[in-house]
Amino acid sequence: MKKKITIYDLAKELKVSSGTVSRSLNNHPSISQKTKDRVVSKANELGYKVNKFAVNLRTQKSNTIGVIIPKLDSYFMATLLAGVEKVANEAGYNLIISQSLESMEKEIMNAKTLYNSGIDALLVSLAYNTENYAHFNPYINSNIPLIFMDRVHNLPNCPTIVIDNFQAGYDATDHLISQGCKNILIITGNLKRNVYTDRLTGYKKALKDNNLNFNSLHLFETTMESKNAKDVVDYIKNLNIPIDGLFVLSDSFAAQCIRSLKKENYSIPKDIKVIGFNNDPISELVTPTLSTIEYPGYSMGLLAGESIINQITGNINLQGTNSISLRHKLIIRESSVN
């Protein structure tokens, strides 16, 4: 790994004393604002970070891995984190877990805070609305291992860990078509994210392969919060052509949709066949039980943990690897079959 920048390196670059650099970075009143600005600017340029783990100042190694995820209140994310934590703890590493709460601004703040905390590596699943990725540049520039999971973006030397979301979308749609569905509404999250765009692409390909045309009216984008289930049902009721299939890219939201549809006297699966995504526990608790795509969160977490630790220790260099893909599985239950 590239040598980490110290205050002595900054002092040499700026031709000032290390004490001046230290006081500038700590906003000491004895240092002029002009000098502080010069020091901070050079520190940002060279990728200097404050290491708050003083006991490890000599090695600049914290034995800590940072994790940024959208939300903790998700079965998939909980199982993913359980997998990461198992591997990390067994290898002697601790996790610092932060939530973006689906906000790019909070994701940026979390990335900066973790960087300044001296973490050895970072695992990220992106927020809904992240469009700018400059907040990850300090990690890349400092050769700090960075791996994206689930919701990913392709950045230089940053591997990704995913499932084949295109094929998963294809399999779910093809199953509904095999059960006689011809007008399938897909309920998706924010299409800025790879997981949703890839599943949508798979949905469209399955339609095409079965000689069905894609209708833009059969695409419903939402945050997939429980309060939005009524909006989905109202939308279905107002369409001219009756919907006979529903592909929902979240099991928990699919369950909410089933509940709202039944309130409006729709019979599932007789009137509308439904398939979800993730294989959350709720898929077996809802009535009728929910067909779904199994998304192996725990396995993804194990793989992410092993990969990031191998990057830290130098056992395996994954920086030239574009993507690691895990297998998914179609699980057929009562909600999608006659």
Residues 6+ apart with CB under 8 A from 96: 64, 65, 66, 67, 114, 117, 119
Is residue 185 a part of any domain in this protein?
yes
Confidence category of residue 6, pLDDT binned at 50, 70, 90: confident
d(Cα 36, Cα 38) in Å, to the nearest integer? Answer: 5
Confidence category of residue 317, pLDDT binned at 50, 70, 90: low
Question: Residue 260, Cα to own-chain centre: how many angstroms?
Answer: 28
Q: Are residues 155 and 170 in the same domain?
A: no
Confidence category of residue 57, pLDDT binned at 50, 70, 90: very low
Is residue 189 a part of any domain in this protein?
yes
Is residue 321 a part of any domain in this protein?
yes
Which range among 17-26, 149-158, 239-248, 268-277 shows the weakest confidence by mean pLDDT? 17-26
The arithmetic mean of pLDDT across residues 101-105, rounded, is 95
The arithmetic mean of pLDDT across residues 139-150, rounded, is 94
pLDDT given for residue 188 in this prediction: 97
Do the Cβ atoms of 327 and 105 come closer than 8 Å? no
d(Cα 69, Cα 126) in Å, to the nearest integer? Answer: 7
Question: Residue 118, Cα to own-chain centre: how many angstroms?
Answer: 22
The arithmetic mean of pLDDT across residues 2-6, rounded, is 73
pLDDT given for residue 320 in this prediction: 54
Cis peptide before 288 (omega within 30 of 0): yes
Q: Are residues 202 and 274 in the same domain?
A: yes
The arithmetic mean of pLDDT across residues 47-69, rounded, is 68
Per cent of the chain over pLDDT 90 is: 74
Query: Is pLDDT above 70 for 2?
Result: no
**Domain span holding position 147:** 55-163+297-326
Which range among 11-20, 44-53, 204-213 shows the weakest confidence by mean pLDDT? 44-53
DSSP of 107-161, one letter per residue?
Answer: HHHHHHHHHHTT-SEEEE---TT----GGGHHHHHTT--EEEESS---BTTB-EE
Q: Are residues 208 and 241 in the same domain?
A: yes
The arithmetic mean of pLDDT across residues 95-99, rounded, is 96
- In one-letter notation, the amino acid at residue 194 is N
Q: Are residues 18 and 36 in the same domain?
A: yes
The arithmetic mean of pLDDT across residues 125-136, rounded, is 94
pLDDT given for residue 54 in this prediction: 39
Q: Are residues 59 and 146 in the same domain?
A: yes
Is residue 1 a part of any domain in this protein?
no
Cis peptide before 29 (omega within 30 of 0): no
Q: Are residues 249 and 157 in the same domain?
A: no
Closest alpha carbon to 277 in 183, 167, 191: 167
Closest alpha carbon to 172 in 61, 278, 14: 278
- DSSP symbol at 335: G
| Number of domains making up the chain | 3
Q: Are residues 102 and 212 in the same domain?
A: no
Identify the burial level of 283 via C-beta atoms within 10 angstroms of its C-beta, where 0-12 means exposed, 13-18 middle and 19 or more buried: buried
Q: Are residues 133 and 212 in the same domain?
A: no
pLDDT given for residue 47 in this prediction: 82
Average pLDDT, the chain: 91
Is residue 37 a part of any domain in this protein?
yes
pLDDT, tens digit (0-9, with 9 covering 90-100), for 289-313? 999 999 999 999 999 999 999 999 8
Q: Are residues 169 and 291 in the same domain?
A: yes
Handedness of CA 296, 322, 193, 78 (dihedral sign): positive
Rg (CA), the chain: 24
Q: Are residues 99 and 41 in the same domain?
A: no
Question: Residue 21, Cα to own-chain centre: how many angstroms?
Answer: 37
The DSSP bridge partners found for residue 251 are none
Q: How many helices (H) and strands (E) does the chain have?
A: 12, 12
d(Cα 111, Cα 68) in Å, to the nearest integer? Answer: 8
Q: Are residues 173 and 272 in the same domain?
A: yes
Query: Is pLDDT above 90 for 36?
Result: no
The answer to pTM > 0.85 is: no
Is residue 273 a part of any domain in this protein?
yes
pLDDT given for residue 51 in this prediction: 52
Longest CA pairwise span in the chain (Å): 78
Is residue 2 a part of any domain in this protein?
no
pLDDT given for residue 130 in this prediction: 95
Query: What CATH number has the domain bearing residue 309?
Result: 3.40.50.2300
Q: Are residues 174 and 260 in the same domain?
A: yes
Confidence category of residue 27, pLDDT binned at 50, 70, 90: confident
- Integer angstrom CA distances of residue 294 from 50, 251, 279: 42, 10, 5
Q: Which residues of 110-132 are buried (b: 16+ CB within 10 A; e: fewer)?
A: bbeebbebbbbbbbbbbbbebee
Is residue 88 a part of any domain in this protein?
yes
> Tokens standing for 31?
């240092």
Query: Is pLDDT above 70 for 58?
Result: no
